Structure 1
Amino acid sequence: MTSSFPAAEKSFRGIWPALLTPLTAGLDIDHAKFAAHCKALIASGCPGVTAFGTTGEGPSFSLAERKEAIDQLIKNGIPAAQIMVSTSCAALPETLELTRHAVKAGVHGCLMLPPFFLKGVSDQGIIDSYRYVIDGMAGTPFKLYLYHIPQVTGVPLSHQVIATLKKQYPETIVGIKDSACSTEHSVGLANAFMKDMTVYVGFEPDLPEMGKRGSTGAISGLANFVPRLVKRLVTEPEAPATPAERERVVKLIGLLDGYSLMPALKGIMAMQSGDAAWLRVRAPLVALTPEEYKALEKTISAFGIDTKSE
């Protein structure tokens, strides 16, 4: 039975897709297409969207580009309160600058990685990094989600780090996004912290298990094109259809094996939208070759994605 945790009421609910970032021919952010994608996702039932995370190639864009993109989303009709922003940068002053900008703009909250350039740093160093940003907000209230994705950052968030930060900033730290893709790890976080904040997972096959444990939503890459399906996995974890829908998601993820993930996700967006411009990525990522795209298109076409129900 799904539990209710009143202490986590400040955290988000539902699916806030980890947005893919559309690019122009010059590899700048395509602001009009970005806003249109957000509007389509919100119209499909997503309460909000998440910009510049891993799926969105966040660290590949400059501070000026990321700030301008958020300003343009709001200008183009996306309510600020329905935007989550990953403000993670290698340099702490830049993370603080992006966080200040996002909070001033009125966004729902910020998603923040631990320091991700230097490796082998201590728990205290990670705690001090988060403290630099939170204390630098000069008492301005905001919602912060800790982001654990050690296979990308090389810097894990230990239980000690999470517990220490939650104790020091109980009103600011409202959730954890666990993208380690380990059911055991996610369940461990839920057992340790779900009473005080919401634990979300980025690995969609784990959503039913986490939904049973009180998770209320997800920041999901697959939700760029199957948001309704992803939502059902976490909000209806014990529905009769859920096991089959979970297996469908497992199969979809398996079809992407052998491809670089973000270019492949953009490939599916290109297929679903009929717009080949979605194939563009920023270096160091490399776009799908015509041969790779043709092979992926054949595979996804055989799989079939129902944009009306999924």
Structure 2
Amino acid sequence: MTSLTPSGAFRGIWPAMLTPLNENLGINHQLFAAHATALIRAGCGGVTAFGTTGEGPSFSMAERREALEALIKNGVPASQIMVSTSCAALPETLELTRHAVQLGVHGCLMLPPFFLKGVSDQGVIDCYRYVIDGVADARLKLYLYHIPQVSGVSLSHPVIATLKKMYPETILGIKDSACNTAHSVGLAEAFMKDLTVYVGFEPDLPELGRRGSTGAISGLANFMPRLVNRLVTQPDAPDTPAERERTMALIRLLDDYSLMPALKGIMAVLSGDKGWLRVRPPLVALTPDQFSALEKLVRTFGIDPARD
């Protein structure tokens, strides 16, 4: 499977990896690499580190640098790694982006500025310019990350159009995790000619696949990579409506839980390793009773590692 489009943007599923932690809540580098390797062996085009699902902003710049280096040292090809370099402090975003490019990763995922709110379009553009101009490396491939319900800052159409015009060889795609079908379709209609639009909300993958999307950065792909891949690459297959409903059913199953601890809970169920339950504050790990209840739901749901 070719992992890149002709424009250089990624193709296929690059799971938004959960980040496993040790007892001291530091990153478990060996398990992180093993998880990435297993996902690539399952057919994923690559993996994505330190996005929202991976608790990225909860880790320091030093931790994220060390973890990326460890992934590569432990056998994960740099060219099959996407890394979110987003930090509240812009110089740290620049440093992490420069570091990732120097290591040879496929690309970087970058949020708009997410601490101050009410930021103007020009302010958002200036932040991206600060990083792109600061890296000053033709190898940089950047994906714009839209998740306003988390960041509190949107990427408007004028911002996207301006950045693409200024950096046509650098800006390759948009990850839209707003979980709003109409918004995702609007992005596809406006930009799919020049950029690849990817959605993070799995039930929207068939709709975007019909409009030219070629992959996804997905949280559910941590344990259902094959199913997620089929949703976007085979949007009109006979089984797609049922498989889309299956993802919706799983999402509904998690409604009563905080999402990242619950996703880690599913990993703990499927792997038999309760170490996956650990999260970095401010997230709170599932209690034993919550995990027990979730485990029953997951086993009843029936995730099939060989097909899902």
TM-score tier (shorter): over 0.9
Deviates more, 1:293-302 or 1:180-189: 293-302
Distance 1:231 1:250 in 2: 15
Q: Mapping of 1:143-222 within 5 angstroms?
A: 143-222=141-220
CA distance in 2, matches of 1:122, 1:7: 32
Matches within 5 A, 1:219-230: 219-230=217-228
User: Is the contact made by 2:279 and 2:285 (CA closer than 8 Å) also made in structure 1?
Assistant: yes
Deviation at 1:272, TM superposition (A): 0.4
Give distance in 2, aligned partners of 1:195 and 1:11. 13
How high is the TM-score relative to the length of structure 2? 0.98
Say which SS state the counterpart of residue 173 (structure 2) adopts.
Answer: strand
Equivalent-residue separation in structure 2 for 1:230 and 1:141 (angstroms): 29
Contact 1:146/1:175 (8 A) holds in 2: yes
What SS does the corresponding residue of 2:21 show, helix, strand or coil?
coil
C-alpha distance after superposition, 1:131-164 (max 9, x if no partner): 0000101244310000000000000000010000
Residues 8/179 of structure 1: CA separation in 2 closer, same or farther (3 Å cut): farther
In the other structure, the counterpart of 1:299 is: 297
Q: Quick one: percent identity of the two aligned structures?
A: 76
Runs of 4+ aligned structure 1 residues displaced above 3 Å come to: none
How many residues matched?
305
Q: Aligned-pair distance for 1:14?
A: 0.2
Kindly indicate whether structure 1 or structure 2 has the higher relative contact order, using CA contacts under 8 Å at least 6 residues apart.
1
CA deviations over 1:72-106 (Å, ceiling 9, x no partner): 00000000000000000001100000000000000
Aligned equivalents of 2:97, 2:176: Cα separation in 1: 20
Does the CA contact (< 8 Å) of 1:83 and 1:108 recur in 2? yes
- CA distance in structure 1 between the partners assigned to 2:152 and 2:243 by the alignment: 32
Distance of aligned partners of 1:139 and 1:40 in 2 relative to their CA distance in 1, 3 Å threshold: closer
- What is the TM-score normalised by the length of structure 1? 0.97
Structure 1 residue aligned with 2:127 = 129
- 1 CA distance for matches of 2:78 and 2:5? 24
User: Which residues of 2 match residues 52-67 of structure 1 at below 5 A?
Assistant: 52-67=50-65
Q: Which residue in 1 is equivalent to 2:242?
A: 244
- What SS is found at the alignment partner of 1:177? strand
Q: 1:12 and 2:4 equivalent?
A: no
Checking the alignment, whether the CA contact within 8 Å between 1:8 and 1:198 is kept in structure 2 is no
Structure 2 distance, partners of 1:302, 1:142, is 44
Secondary structure, counterpart of 1:50 in structure 2: strand
Distance 2:34 2:137 in 1: 34
Question: Offset of 1:47 from its aligned partner?
Answer: 1.2
Q: Distance in 2 between matches of 1:192 and 1:108?
A: 25
Q: Tell me if the contact between 1:183 and 1:206 (Cα under 8 Å) persists in the aligned partners.
A: yes
- Aligned 8 A contact 2:109 2:144 in 1: yes
Is the 1:8–1:196 contact (alpha carbons within 8 Å) kept by the matching residues of 2? no
Deviation, 1:8, is: 6.0
Structure 1: distance between partners of 2:172 and 2:159: 14
Mapped partners of 1:89, 1:24: distance in 2: 23
Provide the C-alpha distance between the structure 2 equivalents of 1:93 and 1:140, rounded to a whole number of angstroms: 19
Counterpart residue type for residue 63 of structure 1: M
Q: 1:51, CA displacement in angstroms? A: 0.1
Asked whether the equivalents of residues 216 and 235 of structure 1 are also in contact (C-alpha less than 8 Å), the reply is yes
Name the amino acid aligned to 1:265.
L
Alignment of 1:250-289 (within 5 A): 250-289=248-287
Structure 2 runs not aligned, ≥5 long:
none
Mapped contact 1:8–1:174 kept (Cα < 8 A): no
Aligned to 1:3: none
Q: Does 1:46 find its partner at 2:44?
A: yes
2:79 to 81, 88, 91: 81
SS of the residue corresponding to residue 143 of structure 2 reads strand
- Whether the 8 Å contact between 1:7 and 1:196 is mirrored in structure 2 is no
CA distance in structure 1 between the aligned counterparts of 2:135 and 2:242, rounded to whole angstroms: 45
Runs of 5+ consecutive residues of structure 1 not aligned to the other structure: 1-5
Letter in 1 for 2:184: S
